[in-house]
């Protein structure tokens, strides 16, 4: 295993990078102009946070790789994002359900990181919390509005929850990297955040009149890099196209 701190920083940065890219795919094609702008703004925040996380990862690694190198010069097996964020956008409802599930975990995790013993990690978390707070506000409102909306929107949101719920569990799995982070006081144990997440999820889904699947099966392999879903590779062919076709091109 490489340096656990580097691994941890890649996980943070890859989550925001992959979700940021996914959300940016809506730019220009969202259902209404306001939502298009909101999605693009959210994507921009996530990409900004990526620059901070992957920039720090590159510094920690000390091999001269910066955020751009890490984002554009790695292949699927080097990515450390959870599987949830690489799932395709689907319809608008599925995109917003994915956003809500991720935001709920993200905000709780970032809040805990604000008291990290690593000052740079704490500073990035402090900055990100402000942005992720309004991401969660918006994704919650939208999930409730569409879930408790028309018969059609309700059904689509239920389908989205059923489709994405098996990807929730991975966000709370702990492994050796997490254990090392806990030991050094850098990051909390993700498993310790599950109970509060479940309570919050139950509350919002009740308001949205949606049923949480009872099967707690969880797909995993993204944050460890062992097994990504097919979708990430396809996404990277788009995201990394320029650097693959013209390596080291700059402007």
Partner 1 sequence: MVGEKPSLETVWEWLDAVPDPEIPVISLTDLGIIRDVQWENDTLVVSVTPTYSGCPATSIINLDIETALRAKGIEKLSLKRQLSPAWTTDWLTESGKAKLEAYGIAPPQPAGGPQHCPHCRSSKVEKISQFGSTPCKAQWRCKSCLEPFDYFKCI
Residue 24 vs 174, nearer CB to partner 1: 24
- Between CA 170 and CA 102 the distance in angstroms is 11
Residue 19 vs 168, nearer CB to partner 1: 19
Are residues 187 and 178 in contact, defined by beta-carbon separation less than 8 angstroms?
yes
Please report where in the chains the tokens 């102009």 appear, as a residue.
33
C-alpha closest to that of 79 among 221, 190, 187, 247: 221
CB of 130 to partner 1, least distance (A): 5
- Torsion of the alpha carbons at 42, 46, 47 and 53, rounded to the nearest 10: 170
Residue 38 vs 161, nearer CB to partner 1: 38
CB of 127 to partner 1, least distance (A): 5
- Between CA 98 and CA 135 the distance in angstroms is 12
Q: Which class for 185: exposed (0-12), middle (13-18), buried (19 or more C-beta within 10 A)?
A: exposed
C-alpha closest to that of 218 among 170, 172, 171, 178: 170
CB of 250 to partner 1, least distance (A): 14
Residue 126 vs 189, nearer CB to partner 1: 126
Residue 49 vs 158, nearer CB to partner 1: 49
Residue 76 vs 114, nearer CB to partner 1: 114
- Between CA 22 and CA 68 the distance in angstroms is 17
Are residues 178 and 92 in contact, defined by beta-carbon separation less than 8 angstroms?
no
CB of 167 to partner 1, least distance (A): 25
Residue 120 vs 192, nearer CB to partner 1: 120
Structural tokens at position 34: 């306001």
Query: Which residues make Cβ contacts (< 8 Å) with residue 35, sequence separation at least 6?
Result: 26, 92
CB of 210 to partner 1, least distance (A): 23
CB of 65 to partner 1, least distance (A): 19
CB of 119 to partner 1, least distance (A): 8
- Between CA 170 and CA 219 the distance in angstroms is 7
Give the binding site for partner 1 (CB under 8 A). Answer: 34, 37-38, 41-42, 44-49, 51-52, 119-120, 122-124, 126-131, 134, 137-138
């Amino acid at each position: 295993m490489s340096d656990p701190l580097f691994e941890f920083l890649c996980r943070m940065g890859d989550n925001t990078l992959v979700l940021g890219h996914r959300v940016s795919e809506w730019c220009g094609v969202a259902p209404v102009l306001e939502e298009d702008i909101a999605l693009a703004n959210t994507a921009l925040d996530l990409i900004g946070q990526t620059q901070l996380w992957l920039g720090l990862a590159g510094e920690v690694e000390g091999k001269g790789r910066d955020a751009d190198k890490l984002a554009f010069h790695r292949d699927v097996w080097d990515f450390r994002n959870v599987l949830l964020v690489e799932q395709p956008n689907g319809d608008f409802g599925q995109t917003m359900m994915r956003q809500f599930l991720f935001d709920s975990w993200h905000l709780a995790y970032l809040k805990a990181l604000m008291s990290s013993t690593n000052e740079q990690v704490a500073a990035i978390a402090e900055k990100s919390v402000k942005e992720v707070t309004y991401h969660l506000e918006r994704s919650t409102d939208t999930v409730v509005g569409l879930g408790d909306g028309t018969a059609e929107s309700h059904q689509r949101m239920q389908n989205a929850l059923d489709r994405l719920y098996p990807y929730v569990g991975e966000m709370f799995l702990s492994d050796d990297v997490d254990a090392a982070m806990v030991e050094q006081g850098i990051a909390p144990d993700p498993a310790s955040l599950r109970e509060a997440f479940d309570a919050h999820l139950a509350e919002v889904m009740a308001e949205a009149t949606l049923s949480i699947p009872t099967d707690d099966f969880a797909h995993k392999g993204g944050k460890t890099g062992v097994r990504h879903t097919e979708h990430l590779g396809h996404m990277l062919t788009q995201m990394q196209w320029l650097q693959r076709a013209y390596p080291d091109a700059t402007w």
